[in-house]
Amino acid sequence: MQVFTSVSKWSPPRVLVTGFGLIILCGSMLLALPFASSDGSFTPYIDALFTATTSTCVTGLVTVDTGSHWSIAGQIIILVLIQLGGLGFMTMATLFAILLRKRISLKERLILQEALNQSSMEGIVRLIRKIMAYALTIELAGAVLFAVRWSFDMPIGQAVYFGVFHSISFFNNAGIDLFGQFGTPYVSLTGYANDPVVNIVTMLLIVTGGIGFIVISDLLEYRRTKRLSLHSKVVLAATLALILAGTLIIFIFELSNAKTLGSLHWGGKILASFFQSVTPRTAGANTLDLASLRQATQFFIVLLMFIGASPGSTGGGIKTTTFAVLAVAVLAMIRGKEDIVLFRYRIAQERVIKALTITMISLGLVIAVTMILTTTEDQAFLKILFETTSAFATVGLTLGITPELSAFGKALIIFMMFAGRLGPLTLAYGIGPRKEKVLFRHPEGKITIG
């Protein structure tokens, strides 16, 4: 009884950290058992833990090929973990409570507010209903389109299964695929670089999963309200700008590279450039061999991955709104303006400080883990930086070093995926001591900057 009383007093961040940790632990124990592997053998626990973490944290980095190593049962476990991790275990739990007509308590609403990164509890349960409706509708549409397309390449039953698996995986920005079972492991979507249907459907799933459910709701209700919230405007503008800029830069850098865009026809070059610009938004799928990209392109993708998706979405990274606020703040400082204005709205100073805090903590984590891995792993610096950023931003793109990591390297990447999915501030609040009320303020001081 004392244990339950203690748990009931936990802060929302601590509940989220513990909940995700328990889901990963349960998933890893199931995946380690013989029935989960295709050959009926035990999977080394570090690989089972890695797979459970990458699935629950919707990352996509894998140490064993998903299509060839895991049995159907193992793949279904991975799919359940992706859905739980993408939508959030509290969202799923709330859905069941609603279906059972149970009352959602104030504490549960506070946890949902933290999980969905909302500024208030108002309408939180109504938002959960919308999230489930949007998610299931979009995933079903993606599954149908994929199944129809892949029915030309494989038996109809397998095409339906592939359609459901990849629609859920891509919408939740996990990027885990099953195409390794056809002979070449870790192949992702490279066999469909010129296929407009697979590319366009995948990109739509990634973008809708990455912009966040609040933005989706705003867009669907626009015909009735004739307005978009400031949040939606910033997310859509930042997302569009990053995708277009990314497409142009990748196209320019890789146009003459015979190992990537150079081997494709002009329609394929444009399509592949778009795809590689969209997928760093924490999706993890790729249609080009990333290891063959020029180093300048690889480093640019690192930057795109670090920014990531948008708040309240299935993706990770520091988020598009954080990047937008910091970019506008820099421009305001350069122009000598005190106010930071986006779409004719002044951004509160505390929001700017929070954006800066998230960025600095995230950057510090990526730098620290990269430095450690460069001493423990026999890999090039850029490959390790790429891997670390991909793990933190829950992207899942890799230059091919994931299966070659040592047990210690895998453990560090597991930590980065966990930290990236929950967010650095939530993780810090979840494992740190309870905040104490400050009873005094220090006198203001002046320091020279720049």
Q: 100: pLDDT confidence band, cut at 50, 70 and 90? A: low
What's the confidence (pLDDT) of residue 113? 57
Residue 342's DSSP bridge partners are 345
129 close to 91: Cβ distance less than 8 angstroms: no
User: What is the rounded CA–CA span in Å between residue 129 and residue 121?
Assistant: 14
How many angstroms from the chain centroid is the CA of residue 229? 23
Is 320 part of any domain? yes
pLDDT at 101 over 90: no
- The answer to whether position 442 is within a domain reads no
End-to-end CA distance of the chain: 56
Residue 6, pLDDT score? 47
- Contact status, residue 181 vs residue 67, Cβ threshold 8 Å: yes
**DSSP tally for the chain: helices H, then strands E:** 20, 2
Q: Are 217 and 134 a contacting pair, CB within 8 Å?
A: yes
Sequence-separated contacts (24+) of 24-31 with Cβ below 8 Å: 24/49, 24/52, 24/53, 24/56, 24/57, 24/81, 24/418, 25/52, 27/51, 27/52, 27/55, 27/56, 27/77, 27/81, 28/52, 28/53, 30/77, 31/70, 31/74, 31/77, 31/78
- Residue 5 pLDDT > 50, yes or no? no
pLDDT at residue 385 above 80? yes
Of 51-65, 139-153, 313-327, 405-419, the range with the lowest mean pLDDT is 313-327
Residue 190 inside a domain? The answer is yes
Angle between helices 89-99 and 124-150 (to 10 degrees): 100
| Dihedral over alpha carbons 398, 403, 406, 411 (to 10 degrees) | 70
The candidate with the shortest Cα–Cα distance to 231, out of 326, 339, 118, is: 118
4 part of a folded domain: no
The separation between CA 151 and the C-alpha centre of its own chain, rounded to angstroms, equals 29
Query: For the residues of 24-79, what is the DSSP string, one character each?
Result: HHHHHHHHTSGGGBTTS-PPPHHHHHHHHHHHHTT----SS-HHHHB-HHHHHHHH
Length of the chain: 450
Range with the poorest average pLDDT among 97-111, 149-163, 182-196:
97-111
319's CB contacts (< 8 A; 6+ apart) are 307, 308, 309, 310, 311, 358
119-135 confidence digits (pLDDT tens): 555 566 677 777 788 88
Residue 248: domain span: 11-431
State the pTM of this model: 0.87
Q: Is residue 443 part of a domain?
A: no
Task: Give the per-residue pLDDT at 42.
Answer: 94
Give per-residue pLDDT as tens, 400-419: 899 999 999 999 999 999 88
Q: Is residue 421 part of a domain?
A: yes
Q: Which residues contact 164 (CB under 8 A, 6 or more apart)?
A: 79, 139, 143, 147
How far apart are alpha carbons 69 and 42 in whole angstroms?
A: 11
Do residues 175 and 279 lie in contact, with contact meaning Cβ atoms separated by under 8 Å? yes
C-alpha pair distances (Å), 368 with each of 92, 305, 383: 34, 17, 15
Q: Which residues contact 161 (CB under 8 A, 6 or more apart)?
A: none
Q: Does 266 reside within a domain?
A: yes
Instruction: For residues 226-235, give the mean pLDDT.
Output: 89
* Structure tokens, 138: 């979009």
Residue 187 is encoded by which pair of tokens?
A: 């192949």
pLDDT tens sequence across 36-58: 999 999 999 999 999 999 999 88
Query: Could you give the CA distance from residue 98 to residue 96 in angstroms, rounded to a whole number?
Result: 5
How many domains in the chain? 1
358-371 pLDDT, tens digit each: 899 999 999 999 99
**Burial per residue of 120-146, b for 16 or more beta-carbon CB atoms within 10 angstroms, e otherwise:** eeeebeebbebbbebbeebbebbbebb
Between 313 and 39, the more confident residue is: 39
